[in-house]
């Protein structure tokens, strides 16, 4: 008589646990990410123009659709996409060059006021008990020599951008032509699900920048008129700064506020500086904090923590332009690594996107009960 078998065959669950431990896989993933981002950091001067061109082409690409529906040949529609992309780049470059030139030209006119304000701040800090070294270091921020150095670094950055501008223009031509060719394929990324992820990414990036540009223009006009009414020098420069910093999530408002507030302190003292700060808070908080997120939340779906971290991270990885490109770059990483993975629901939730359309883990309303 044969007794019951005592040998336990490996179950599916046991077999699934074979291999590397979970902690080891996590460490290997982080190590691979460090290597990958270190490579991006080393090649940032090459990759940053590529990222700028890709975002501009994504924004301009829909221009071709109404033209093709009207019977335009594809090459003509592609040409219009390139022209629109070039116009976007030309406008941004002109704004940056104009603002930099105005800022540099302003500094000599207010050198005495800057020195007086710096000395006053040093005396105030010393009277509050701070060491002379700390007071001098704080007041040196308003030193004309320091500001001239900042202006020179801004000019160098603009010159570097102009050097990379040629490559951006070339990338725009190639990317616009490739986008037209890929648009004729039944599936661009190999499957319906991958195409859905790509479509959501492109439409999200496009909507994010269009909404930010719209609200940025409104904020710039209101801030510029306010500064002009208060008598702050070169208000158009600070309006341009408000427009550009509107594309920097979370901290863009602070970056756009500091220079005009400091200049108000120089020309009008603390009352004028406080008036600028309060007026900026009313305008920017109302538009950027209360109204604008309602229009971009569906397009971005990133948590506030991840949005803020992405600004710091991408600015470190690819330079200052990374602060403006932080949201589309973070969305790209999520679209490539997280959204296609059915087992990455936890990461999806932590990133701010709790439900992934098309995922096998999405619970339908009829099943929720």
Angle between helices 326-333 and 44-60 (to 10 degrees): 90
DSSP per residue, 308-360: HHHHHHHHHHH-THHHHSHHHHHHHHIIIIITT-TT-HHHHHHHT----TT-T
Separation of alpha carbons 251 and 98, rounded Å: 24
The confidence score (pLDDT) of residue 267 equals 84
pLDDT at residue 357, rounded to an integer: 46
Produce one character per residue of 263-290: b if its CB has 16 or more CB atoms within 10 Å, e if not. Answer: bbbbbbeeebbebbbebbeebbeebbee
- Dihedral pair phi/psi, residue 78, rounded to 5°: -65, -40
Q: What is the CA radius of gyration of the chain?
A: 26
Q: How far apart are CA 312 and CA 328, in angstroms?
A: 14
**Band of pLDDT at residue 224, cut at 50, 70 and 90:** very high
Q: According to the model, what pLDDT value does residue 57 have?
A: 92
What is the pLDDT at residue 247?
87
Confidence of residue 150 (pLDDT cuts 50, 70, 90): low
pLDDT at 164 over 80: no
Q: Given this model, what pLDDT does residue 159 score?
A: 58
Residue 365 has what pLDDT?
A: 36
Kindly give the interhelix angle for 144-182 and 44-60, rounded to the nearest 10 degrees: 60
Most confident of 130-139, 214-223, 345-354: 214-223
pLDDT over threshold 80, residue 100:
no
pLDDT at 103 over 90: no
pLDDT at 83: 93
Q: How far apart are CA 66 and CA 68, in angstroms?
A: 6
Cβ-contact 307, 334 below 8 angstroms: no
Please give the share of the chain, as a percent, with pLDDT higher than 90: 15
Residue 142 pLDDT? 55
| Mean pLDDT (the chain, rounded) | 78
**pLDDT > 70: what percent of the chain?**
75
289 within 8 A of 347, measured Cβ to Cβ: no
In tens, the pLDDT along 229-262 reads 998 888 999 999 899 888 888 788 888 888 898 8
pLDDT at 171 > cutoff 60: yes
User: What are the distances in angstroms from CA 226 to CA 60, 105, 198, 230, 272?
Assistant: 32, 22, 42, 6, 12
Looking at the whole model, is its pTM more than 0.85? Answer: no
Q: For residue 299, give Cα distances in angstroms to 35, 128, 286, 322.
A: 30, 48, 20, 19
Residue 223 neighbours by CB distance under 10 Å:
26
The pLDDT tens digits for 118-144 are: 667 666 666 666 655 555 555 555 555
213 pLDDT more than 80: yes
* Predicted confidence (pLDDT) per residue in 281-304, tens digit: 888 878 877 777 777 666 677 777
Phi, psi of 160 (to 5 degrees): -65, -40
Q: How far apart are the first and last CA of the chain?
A: 52
What average pLDDT does this structure show over 324-348? 85
* pLDDT confidence of residue 1: 47
pLDDT for res 128: 66
The predicted structure's pLDDT at residue 348: 78
- pLDDT attached to residue 284: 82
Query: pLDDT digits over 185-196, tens only?
Result: 767 777 788 888
Predicted local distance difference test score (pLDDT) of residue 286: 83
User: Does residue 155 carry a pLDDT above 70?
Assistant: no
Each residue's pLDDT tens digit, 25-71:
888 888 988 899 899 899 888 888 899 999 999 999 999 889 988 98
């Amino acid at each position: 008589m044969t007794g019951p078998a005592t040998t336990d065959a490996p179950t599916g669950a046991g077999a699934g646990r074979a291999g590397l431990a979970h902690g080891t896989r996590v460490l290997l993933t982080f190590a691979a990410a460090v290597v990958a981002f270190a490579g991006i950091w080393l090649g940032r001067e090459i990759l940053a123009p590529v990222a700028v061109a890709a975002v501009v082409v994504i924004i301009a690409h829909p221009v071709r659709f109404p033209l093709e529906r009207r019977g335009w040949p594809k090459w003509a529609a592609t040409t219009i996409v390139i022209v629109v992309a070039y116009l976007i780049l030309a406008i941004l470059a002109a704004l940056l060059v104009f603002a930099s030139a105005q800022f540099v030209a302003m500094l000599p006119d207010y050198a005495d006021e800057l020195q007086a304000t710096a000395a006053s701040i040093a005396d105030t800090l010393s009277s509050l008990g701070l060491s002379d070294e700390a007071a001098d270091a704080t007041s040196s921020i308003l030193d004309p020599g320091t500001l001239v150095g900042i202006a020179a670094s801004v000019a160098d950055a603009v010159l570097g951008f102009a050097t990379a501008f040629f490559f951006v223009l070339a990338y725009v031509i190639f990317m616009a032509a490739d986008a037209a060719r890929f648009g004729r394929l039944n599936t661009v990324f190999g499957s319906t699900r991958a195409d859905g992820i790509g479509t959501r990414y492109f439409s999200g990036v496009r909507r994010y920048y269009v909404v930010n540009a719209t609200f940025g223009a409104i904020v710039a006009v209101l801030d510029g008129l306010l500064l002009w009414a208060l008598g702050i020098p070169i208000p158009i420069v600070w309006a341009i700064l408000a427009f550009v910093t509107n594309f920097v999530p979370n901290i863009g408002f602070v970056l756009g506020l500091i220079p005009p507030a400091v200049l108000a302190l120089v020309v009008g003292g603390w009352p004028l500086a406080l008036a600028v700060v309060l007026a900026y808070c009313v305008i920017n908080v109302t538009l950027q904090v209360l109204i604008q997120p309602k229009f971009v939340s569906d397009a971005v779906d990133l948590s506030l923590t991840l949005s803020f971290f992405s600004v710091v991270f991408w600015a470190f990885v690819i330079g200052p332009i990374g602060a403006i490109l932080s949201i589309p770059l973070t969305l790209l990483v999520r679209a490539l690594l997280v959204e296609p993975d059915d087992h990455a629901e936890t990461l999806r939730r932590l990133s701010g996107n709790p439900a992934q359309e098309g995922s096998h883990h999405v619970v339908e309303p009829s099943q929720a009960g």
